[in-house]
Amino acid sequence: MKIYLKTFAQDRVLDSAQTAQLMDIALMTPYVGGDAVFSARVMLGIDPDDYGVSYRLIEQNDQQTETEVKVYPNPANDNVTVELIGYDNLQYAEIQIYGLVGNLIFSKKITENVSYISVAELKSGLYFYNVIVNNNCIAKEKLIIVK
């Protein structure tokens, strides 16, 4: 909204920093970034299909195995544990942490089914996280950091 009011509402052109920030928001899925995602896409004139943005939470496969993601403790202080249960064929996993306005603040590749992630660099506050496994967003929740 701040970028909109400083540019489009006053018939001004976006600078490179504003464009980059809007692109970060525009490439999020709406269930994470909310209405800001749609606004950013309109302001940039982009189609999310051109960028391969996934809209699914989990890919349905033929095998119905029990899978679960746990991120704890929550509230957290300096570290969180990411536990991927039932992902025996783990090719790629990542945790992404977003601020309240949907900007990506932190991301870390997850290499094991149980990973300990340092979030010591984050300030106290409310965040949102995604856990991506094998190119599918399988978890999205709130994360509270308390120092």
Over residues 52-62, the pLDDT tens digits come to 765 544 444 44
Specify the pLDDT at position 2.
81
Give 21's contacts (C-beta < 8 A, 6+ positions apart). Answer: 3, 103
pLDDT for 59 equals 47
Q: pLDDT by residue (tens digit) across 63-94?
A: 446 888 999 999 999 999 999 998 887 888 99
The mean pLDDT of 26-35, rounded to a whole number, is: 75
Quick one: pLDDT at residue 1? 74
Q: Pick the residue with more confidence: 50 or 92?
A: 92
pLDDT at 146 over 90: yes
66: exposed, middle or buried (Cβ count in 10 Å: 0-12, 13-18, 19+): exposed
pLDDT at 104: 94
pLDDT at res. 45 = 87
Domains for the chain: give ranges and CATH numbers: 2-51 (no CATH), 68-145 (2.60.40.1930)
pLDDT at position 88 is 81
pTM of this prediction exceeds 0.85: no
Q: Is the pLDDT of residue 38 over 50?
A: yes
DSSP 31-71: HHHTHHHHHHHHHHT--GGGGT----SS---SS----EEEE
pLDDT of residue 65: 60
